[in-house]
Structures are given as C-alpha cells and as structure tokens.
Amino acid sequence: MIRNIFFDFDGTLADTTEGIVQCSLATLRQLGLPASTPERIRSVIGLPLTGCFERGTDTPPERIAEACATYRKLFNEIAIPCTTLYPGTKETLAELQARGVTLALCTSRSNNSLNALLQVLGIRAHFSAIVTNEDVSHPKPAPDIALLALERLGARPDETLVVGDTVFDLQMGRAAGCRICGVTWGNQDRPQLESEYPELIIDDFRELLAYCIERAD
C-alpha cells in the first residue's frame, strides 16, 4: 500500500529547465566565467546548485560560491517567469491528497527559491512536509533528504513512493528504503531511469493516481 509520496520538484512537478539553464548562462556571462552549453547544464539538474556549477560548467573551484550567489540574485528575474507546472500536476496532487495520501517535497533546491516558486505555482498547501538541501548534511543521491522526510512524518519507507525525474532521486529513495518511481518528462530519459530499476516509470503525471488507486488495499 502506498500511504506517502515524496516528490522531487525540478523536472518532476515543475518544468524549471529553461529557467535554470538561462539563469546559469547569465551567471557565467555576468561573472566573465567560461561558457557552458544548455545540454551540459541540463545533465546535472537535480544536484545541489554547487554541484551544478562544479559539474555543469568550467567554473574554477574558488569561484563556485560567487557563481551560486550571483545565480540566486538573478533567479527571480530570469528563472521564475520561465517556470510552469507539468500537465495534470495540480489536479493529481489535489486528488491524491483528497484520497488520504500524505505528500512531501524532497528537493535539492534552496528554501528561498522553492518557497518563491511554490507561491507562484499555488501548490504549497498540498505538502505535509518539505525537506530541502539546506536541511541536511548530505545532498542527493544520499538518502538524508528522504530519511528526514520520513522522520518528520512518522512514515514507513515500505509505504512510501519517491517520485523523481533523475537517477539522483531514485538513488536517494532506494538508499532510504523507499519504493521508487521515475518520470520521463523531466531532465533524464527512460533508459537512464531504467538503469536504477524503479518500481514503475510513468509518461504522464496522471498515471501516478491510477497506480496508487490500484494499490489502495
């Protein structure tokens, strides 16, 4: 039985890719740092912001903190206007909540940017717990974010499904002892998700509701 669902945010609930890419590229230009490509930046979405600049750009290690600070200053202006919910997201969250499924967010995003996006998108009320990268010592793919969400909700991992668009999400969920589900509309494709052997992979957000209803008993 699935009693709890822990969602990743970027690439799972909301299409933030273009905003992240444009904000990252603008940061590099503003600081006079080496250019990167949209493809390279997309490949590391899901990691903490420091990891995105470390692995998705050629930013020197001594300037990573500066790049992150500049990115955060540019975020509201550049990234938020580009962000939208994926089709069926708001309706499916509402229906899952109405059916008694406890929902949580487990994200590498910072608290400030997440709160700004949740307010704009109008989905904050659906979540009983929110755990971000700032709440733990070890980010995804370590299990810490999911473990803290389990602790805050008093939830059992075998009754919890972790849903995400990257292998980082699935690795986190499995390491926490949870069930795992990949989504194909985000930042990584089906073959990448299949490499982690999730319980299911869905192509439309509304498939998640049907799956949970089938396993309600």
CATH number (domain holding residue 60): 1.10.150.240
- Which tens digits make up the pLDDT trace of 18-73? 999 999 999 999 999 999 999 999 989 888 899 999 999 999 999 999 999 999 99
**Amino acid of residue 76:** N
Active site residue 135: no
Longest dimension (CA), the chain: 57
SS (H, E, C) 177-188: CCEEEEECCCCC
Same-domain pairing of 105 and 116: yes
Q: Which of 8, 15, 165, 169 is catalytic?
A: 8
Q: Which helix (H) or strand (E) holds 129?
A: strand 129-132
Same-domain pairing of 100 and 164: yes
Say how far apart CA 67 and CA 204 lie, in whole Å: 35
Same-domain pairing of 129 and 193: yes
Same-domain pairing of 70 and 109: no
Same-domain pairing of 8 and 26: no
What pLDDT score was predicted for residue 47?
A: 84
Say how far apart CA 11 and CA 17 lie, in whole Å: 7
Same-domain pairing of 25 and 74: yes
Active site residue 10: yes
- Which tens digits make up the pLDDT trace of 9-20? 999 999 999 999
Model confidence at 79: pLDDT above 70? yes
Q: Which of 10, 15, 144, 165 is catalytic?
A: 10
Q: Could you list the residue range(s) of the whole structural domain that residue 41 is in?
A: 17-82
| Whole-structure pTM value | 0.87
Model confidence at 135: pLDDT above 90? yes
In this structure, what are the phi and psi dihedrals at residue 100, rounded to the nearest 5 degrees? 90, 10
